[in-house]
Structure 1
Amino acid sequence: MYRERLVATDAQTDSARKLQGLLLDYHDFRQHKAAHPRLADTFLVAEWQAERLRNTHHDLYRHPGYHTGLEFLLTDLYAPASMTRRDDNIDRVFPKMVKWLPDNLLETFAGLVELNLITQQLDLEMAEQLVVRGIVIERMSDADYCAAFCASAQLACRERQILLVADVGRQLDRYVRNRTLGWLLSMTRGPAEMADLSDLHSFLHRGYSAFRQMDEVEALIERLVTREQQVMENILQGHPQPFRLPDHL
């Protein structure tokens, strides 16, 4: 809807141009996905993988210092079925973003957009691989998932996805330690509602609140990355229980 606005915006810094390019790629992919015959299957794949992540990291998910942040990751950052208005609004306000936001914050937004784009691209490819194999996604087993995963042509993107989670998580943690951001989010709630940006504002406020409540974010990120890299290695090596990890991880 707002592609012309993205294209017409004069992005003058490297970070602004990076975000602009990623938003254009994400905009075009969202249009492609919306018309794709496997659209409904991508949501089932996303739900399956979100549940797998909860199970793999069940100890962290139940930890009171991490639960809110991980829930935000799984329901807000990884929720392709319900964020169309939020994504449209990011496109809509992009000209103001590059005008008012500092480069380091534009860089963080770029990481979030790239993470969302890669995740949804991988979900679509996974859905296609499963359909080729005649797998009913609602009854997909771990072995079915791993076979489709190993047939993927996007393994480098899966590695990039894990690293992006770490990078974006560290950047977000730095921002939420700044109390000024919380004050600004509280002060801008009314103007956001008047500008029909309440969904985008709510997303930002939930992310701020979630990360503010988290303990030792760096330690959490290191454990998530180490575990997910081990899961990926297990799958590619044909481990009989790829999602069961050693106790020390």
Structure 2
Amino acid sequence: MQSNDLCVFTALDTATRTVTTWVYDVKQPDTAPWVIDEFTVGRGATVMTASATMTGTDGVRIAGTVRSGSAATGTVVVSAEGRELARATVTAGTFAVTLPAGVLDVGTHPVSLVFPRTRTHLAASMSLAVTVPDPDGPDAPVTPPPTAPGRAVVTASVLRVLRRRVRLAVRVRVPGGTAGGRVEIRRGDGELVRRARLRGGRVTVDLPRRRLGAGRTTLRVVYPGSGSVPRSVGTVTFELPRRS
């Protein structure tokens, strides 16, 4: 087709089955023709699939695929009640988009998905019934009560009583792992005697006898706890003879 100024011509590339239409300005022969349309013939129908799920923040996530003989590339337009809600980019035949909480009211909504025609794929469309539950309704999920943290078990025993020191063995057991950090060894009146670092939940520590006194002695071994295990205390009682 030709007018006084422009010439429009179309060609079919039989190797790629691509139909291309150009426009050529006959009054400006030095200007290269430009493409105004291009598509592939013999394309199969484009098939779109999609599903909707609620997110943890009460939004709606819509994800799906767009394919014919090959994976599509393009854009899916998401609308409801004649109002565009979002656009999702189709890459390698897949797309996903999240509608924030409040975009759709509580209830069931027909959501339209439209994939416009591209150079390689025909247009496609579908509709989804998306239900937004009432967060305060009777079917709202119930948050289970928090699980009580596990308890540490602290044990201690006297290994040896020497002239100037008492050797103490300490072990801390915690559920599902190995205790770390430090323990505090205190007298019955609360006075700190020594701090020691656990290795694999155990430690052997020497305590100066001058800090303990003589006679029946009770020591408290304090494990301060961790992010998942609360503070725990164990005791050990022994006789400490007077030094001659």
The answer, yes or no, to whether TM exceeds 0.5 is: no
TM-score (norm 2): 0.17
> Which has more helix, going by share of residues?
1
Which structure's residues are more often strand, by fraction?
Answer: 2
Q: Which has the higher contact order (CA 8 A, sep 6+)?
A: 1
Which structure has the larger Rg? Answer: 2
